[in-house]
A = this chain, B = another copy of it.
Amino acid sequence: MALDQTWYTEQWAGQGSAISLKIAKKVHDEQSQYQRIEIYETETFGTLMTLDGLVMVTDRDNFVYHEMMSHPALFTHPAPKRVLIIGGGDCGTLREVLKHSTVEQADQVELDERVTRVAEQFFPELCEKNADPRARLHFTDGIQWVADAKPDSYDVIIVDSTDPVGPAAGLFSETFYMNCFRALRPRGIVVGQSESPLFHPDLIVSMHRAMRAAGFADTATLQFHQVTYPSGWWSCTMACKAGSLATIREDAATGKDFPTRYYNAALHTAARALPEFLVQALR
């Protein structure tokens, strides 16, 4: 049956499929310098933020994404102190990063300051670490930031970006990964969101290839469940300058001193196990 106008619908581009969320009301709508930012109260997913009509974050399921974009990388790096987040304007990834007591500084570089200001208003819990003295919020171009970064200046770079079209496309290129490689310290790790294994396996394969070509020693994709993103089947792809991504700080992950709702040490390792079709595509 067709849905009436009380539903928000995102058509999954090129995939002949769509997700809809029942809306109680729209509570914010603005056109920033870069994009249209809308906020809805949904009936069952809490508050929803869309950018140019695409789901960015909901109260109900953002924990999966934010935890999986941060904790696997931070519990793989032997001692993450300086972290860079590219994008991530809703500040949910920043919050997870700053749960790690090893972290001394987290730079968040988001192009659109309005995304963060709107998040502060409508997603206060995601922004609860914004005033942490270790947090530094910058509103500028992330690709340029990495190109300009001092060599050996970060332990972990997290690319918490939108889809690889428009301004975000450059965040998936070999040139970008080469700049990440240079900006990272010797044991450094870069991790980026890498879309849907079902819908975008070619993108994942090309990310591995570009990361290897940029000089990274090991690469890995982790899959997870992100209900409101296209297909609900999501992933991040990670690379390290030295060593193996299979070696994680197991004791630290198991004995972590902060709560999570999705991440745990067993799930971290498990997320690296990929469906056979993707194993074969990555061969």
Chain A residues close to B by CB (< 8 Å): 1-5, 7, 9, 11, 14-22, 42-45, 53, 60-61, 64, 197-198, 223, 225, 227, 231-233, 259-264, 266-267, 269-277, 279
Q: By CB atoms of chain B within 10 A, which of A197, A273, A277, A279 has the most?
A: A273
The copy count of this chain in the complex is 2
Report yes or no: B17 in contact with A18, Cβ–Cβ below 8 A.
no
> Pick the contact of A261 from B18, B233, B277 — CB < 8 Å?
B277
Report yes or no: A16 in contact with B44, Cβ–Cβ below 8 A.
yes
How long is the Cα–Cα vector from A232 to B11 in the complex, in angstroms? 15
With a cutoff of 8 Å between Cβ atoms, the chain B residues found around residue A61 in the complex are 198
With a cutoff of 8 Å between Cβ atoms, the chain B residues found around residue A270 in the complex are 269-273
Report yes or no: B275 in contact with A262, Cβ–Cβ below 8 A.
yes
How long is the Cα–Cα vector from A215 to B231 in the complex, in angstroms? 38
With a cutoff of 8 Å between Cβ atoms, the chain B residues found around residue A17 in the complex are 19-22, 44-45, 227
> Pick the contact of A276 from B2, B11, B44, B267 — CB < 8 Å?
B267
With a cutoff of 8 Å between Cβ atoms, the chain B residues found around residue A263 in the complex are 275-276
Q: By CB atoms of chain B within 10 A, which of A3, A20, A43, A197 has the most?
A: A20
With a cutoff of 8 Å between Cβ atoms, the chain B residues found around residue A269 in the complex are 270, 273
Beta-carbon nearest neighbor of A277 in chain B: B261
Q: Whole-angstrom distance from the CB of A86 to the nearest CB of chain B?
A: 26
13 A-B pairs with C-beta separation under 8 A: A1-B53, A2-B7, A9-B20, A14-B44, A17-B22, A17-B227, A18-B19, A225-B275, A231-B232, A266-B274, A267-B273, A267-B275, A271-B273
> Pick the contact of A225 from B21, B53, B232 — CB < 8 Å?
B232
Beta-carbon nearest neighbor of A198 in chain B: B227
Beta-carbon nearest neighbor of A233 in chain B: B225
With a cutoff of 8 Å between Cβ atoms, the chain B residues found around residue A266 in the complex are 273-274
Beta-carbon nearest neighbor of A265 in chain B: B273
> Pick the contact of A264 from B45, B64, B261, B276 — CB < 8 Å?
B276
How long is the Cα–Cα vector from A275 to B265 in the complex, in angstroms? 10
Q: Whole-angstrom distance from the CB of A46 to the nearest CB of chain B?
A: 10
How long is the Cα–Cα vector from A44 to B231 in the complex, in angstroms? 12
With a cutoff of 8 Å between Cβ atoms, the chain B residues found around residue A233 in the complex are 225, 227, 232
With a cutoff of 8 Å between Cβ atoms, the chain B residues found around residue A276 in the complex are 259-264, 267
> Pick the contact of A22 from B1, B2, B16, B274 — CB < 8 Å?
B16
> Pick the contact of A262 from B9, B18, B260, B277 — CB < 8 Å?
B277
